[in-house]
């Protein structure tokens, strides 16, 4: 196909195929769709990517992704600075925000501990979390991690490190299905799990 | 989420969600993946889209998409100008090229006739096909259209219009897919495969 449509289109297809959810075949369809919808879709998408490249940054406080640093949540005076909700990934933060599940602020670890995949504590922003937990204004750390082996391993690891901090460590209630991932849950379940959080 | 991540990221998510194969949830994952892979993926994709915007055009002869016009196939002296393979969509052209199925050239209709969806002859590049079919060098028109009601309606419509042209009009054989099991095939396909059987 490269020889047919030219290396430029082939390159576009290959890059699209690296997006999660798109395989080689759907990437070809996506490229074709973009080319057909040149004004209505390809130009706006090109522009949106350029804007994102120019403006999107990682919040130095919490690890959230935003166009301002510190992020909108960290600087929102209506968000409770006493509560830090620990998530593995920005996708989980988004899911909790969609569920309107907390008025606290966040801390994005970047991953969960996974010895089998070679992901250790040094790969997560755990030191920064421990430092934040020692601030006088922080009273509760909510561990909003996947109810998987890796997620719970991470929760235990962090809880141990927070022994010296003057904070209550809680976790989401077991409304989260065992083995389930936050990002797949409906908003009601996420809200209920947040309300019923228990002492860790 | 818009309020959380900012309108720029929300816009990116919304545009990605309009790609075939990506829903709202996978579009969020794709946006996040792009932001995380800023140098390795978002920048190259932004560049590839810009190149495509600058260079990709629709071939005025056949309707193929390429970075040159007329396209690589139309200008390739090794492609037989006596044969025009009629397809509904560029995706079908790509599929036939991947299969190395023909040495002919192409004509992309842009769609198939679909009265129920309000797609009529004026929405397809049929006039241009009829004009091409009248060229002295053209001897065969191969209708490579879907074996669906719409595809076959389109094939009949075109065949009628080509009565006056000095060309042979053919269509793809029906038959057993390579690797296909007889037991799973519909009766129409089996009957056609039997009627059109070939010497072994
Ligand atoms: Zn932040
Ligand atoms: Zn062409």
pLDDT tens-digit map of B123-170 = 999 999 999 999 999 999 999 988 888 999 999 999 999 999 999 999
For A129-138, A145-154, B11-20, B186-195, which range has the lowest pLDDT when averaged over its residues? B186-195
Rounded to the nearest integer, the mean pLDDT of chain A is 90
The CA A104 to ligand 2 mean position distance, Å, reads 59
ipTM above 0.90, yes or no: no
Element (H, E) at B81: strand B80-87
Q: Cα dist. A11→A133, A186, B12, B48, B162 in Å? A: 46, 37, 20, 7, 38
The CA B60 to ligand 2 mean position distance, Å, reads 7
Contact across the interface for A43 and B53, Cβ inside 8 Å: yes
Higher pLDDT among residues A39 and B172, named by residue: A39
pLDDT in tens, B181-197: 777 788 888 888 877 87
The domain made up of A65-171 has a fold known as: Dna Topoisomerase Vi A Subunit; Chain: A, domain 2 (3.40.1360)
Contact across the interface for B32 and A98, Cβ inside 8 Å: no
pLDDT in tens, A18-72: 999 898 889 999 999 999 999 999 999 999 999 999 999 999 999 999 999 999 9
Tokens coding A106: 């966040």
Instruction: Please give the Cα distance from B12 to B31 (Å, whole number).
Output: 7
The pLDDT value recorded for residue B1 is 43
The pLDDT value recorded for residue A198 is 65
The pLDDT value recorded for residue A194 is 74
Tokens coding B105: 């050239």
The CA B87 to ligand 2 mean position distance, Å, reads 12
Which residue from B minimizes the CA distance to A40?
B15
Reply yes or no on whether the pLDDT at A199 is more than 60.
Answer: yes
Contact across the interface for B33 and A52, Cβ inside 8 Å: no
Domains A9-55 and A65-171 share a fold: no
Rounded to the nearest integer, the mean pLDDT of chain B is 91
DSSP state string for A82-99: EEEEEESSHHHHHHHHHT
Interface A-B, measured as beta-carbon pairs within 8 A, has a size of: 178
The pLDDT value recorded for residue A2 is 44
Nearest by Cα to A146 from A185, A117, A107, A118: A185
Q: Which ligand is nearest to the CA of A108?
A: 1
Considering the segment(s) B9-55 as one domain, its CATH architecture is Orthogonal Bundle (1.10)
The pLDDT value recorded for residue B181 is 79
Higher pLDDT among residues B115 and A134, named by residue: A134
Question: A164: distance to nearest CA of chain B, Å?
Answer: 32
Instruction: Please give the Cα distance from A141 to A197 (Å, whole number).
Output: 11
Domain range annotation of chain B: 9-55, 65-171
Q: What burial letters (b/e) apply to B15-28, b meaning 16+ CB within 10 Å?
A: bbbbbebbeeebbb
């Amino acid at each position: 196909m490269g020889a047919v449509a030219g290396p430029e289109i082939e390159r576009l297809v290959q890059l699209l195929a690296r997006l999660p959810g798109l395989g080689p075949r759907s990437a070809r369809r996506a490229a074709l769709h973009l080319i057909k919808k040149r004004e209505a879709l390809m130009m706006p998408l090109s522009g949106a990517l350029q804007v994102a490249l120019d403006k999107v940054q990682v919040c130095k406080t919490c690890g959230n992704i935003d166009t301002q640093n510190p992020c909108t949540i960290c600087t929102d005076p209506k968000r409770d600075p006493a509560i830090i909700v620990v998530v593995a990934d920005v996708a989980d933060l988004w899911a909790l925000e969609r569920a309107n599940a907390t008025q606290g602020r966040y801390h994005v670890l970047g991953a969960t501990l996974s010895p089998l995949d070679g992901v250790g504590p040094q790969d997560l922003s755990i030191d920064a979390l421990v430092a934040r937990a020692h601030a006088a204004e922080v009273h509760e750390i909510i561990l909003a991690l996947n109810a998987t082996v890796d997620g719970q391993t991470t929760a235990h690891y962090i809880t141990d490190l927070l022994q010296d901090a003057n904070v209550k460590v809680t976790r989401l209630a077991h409304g989260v299905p065992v083995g389930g991932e936050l990002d797949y849950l409906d908003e009601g379940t996420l809200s209920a799990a947040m309300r019923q959080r228990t002492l860790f």
